[in-house]
Amino acid sequence: MGKRDSKMVRASQSAAANSAAQMAKRQTAMDVAAAVTMAAMDVPTGKMTKPAPTMTLEEMKAKWVPSRLKIGLSDMAGGGVAQGLNEGWNLLMRLAGKWSVDGFWAKQNDYMQSSVPAIGGLAWYLIELYGLGKAPLTGFKMGRLEAAKILSHLGMSKFFQALRGRTAEQKELLEYAQAEGRRTAADNASQKATIDKLKLALEEAAKRTGDSEDGARRKPPQGGDK
């Protein structure tokens, strides 16, 4: 009987412990739910907060899509800034070429006029593109992007123009050198023919001179003694 009673006591104690654990879990869940409910409520007034109003399609377009006036002004301003920067750099390089006379700035003037706007404009555009965030584009930002893009294009256009000019100049120099070579060869051939003619003429003159001397030796003297 004593063993049976002790087993029953232990069983009742285990059941009580399980019940207490379940009650603790339920209390924890209720506390979490209460915390979530309080977080969704305005604590000072005890009222539920209203959700943020949703934007309509027209309002989203007005916020994110720039107007025609903003696009036009930013494009025109950006193009003007790019043209001004390009022309200013070209003027500076032309002055440097005049100062250098026949040095590096004079010989590489066309490449220096084009390379800096092309590379600088591309780097500027990539920096502006990297700095784009989630906020709507401002007119100043669009103007900077347009200026960087046009400046890079102007530099690349001038670079290819300089490259074509250098190629045409080298072709003209090559054709001139070839023509001079042909002219020199023709002159050499003409001079050689002239020299050959002179040699023949000298040989004939020397031959005639030798014949006349031989004839004079063979001619008998006139008016001998009787």
Number of other residues whose CB lies within 10 A of the CB of residue 187: 10
- 122, part of any domain: yes
Q: How many folded domains does the chain comprise?
A: 1
- 145, part of any domain: yes
pLDDT tens for 38-50 read 555 544 444 545 5
- 143, part of any domain: yes
- 79, part of any domain: yes
Which residues constitute the domain of residue 100? 60-162
Q: How confident is the model at residue 54 (pLDDT cuts 50, 70, 90)?
A: low
Q: Which amino acid is at 132?
A: L
Helix (H) or strand (E) holding 139: helix 139-218
pLDDT tens for 207-224 read 777 666 666 666 555 554
- 150, part of any domain: yes
How is residue 154 written in tokens?
């102007």
- 100, part of any domain: yes
- 196, part of any domain: no
How is residue 110 written in tokens?
């066309």
* Half-sphere exposure (Cβ direction) of 189: Cα atoms closer than 13 Å: 6
CA 215 to CA 222: how far, in whole Å?
A: 15
- 21, part of any domain: no
Q: How confident is the model at residue 11 (pLDDT cuts 50, 70, 90)?
A: low
pLDDT tens for 95-131 read 998 898 888 888 888 889 999 999 999 999 999 988 8
Q: Is the model's pLDDT at 89 over the cut of 60?
A: yes
Q: What is the pTM of this model?
A: 0.51
Q: What's the Cα-to-Cα distance from 84 to each of 90, 91, 118, 206, rounded to whole Å?
A: 10, 11, 14, 82
**In this structure, what is the dihedral angle of CA atoms 213, 214, 216, 222, given to the nearest 10 degrees?**
160
- Residues linked to residue 78 through DSSP beta bridges, in sequence order: none
In the predicted model, what is the mean pLDDT of residues 131-159? 87
**In this structure, what is the dihedral angle of CA atoms 108, 113, 116, 117, given to the nearest 10 degrees?**
-160
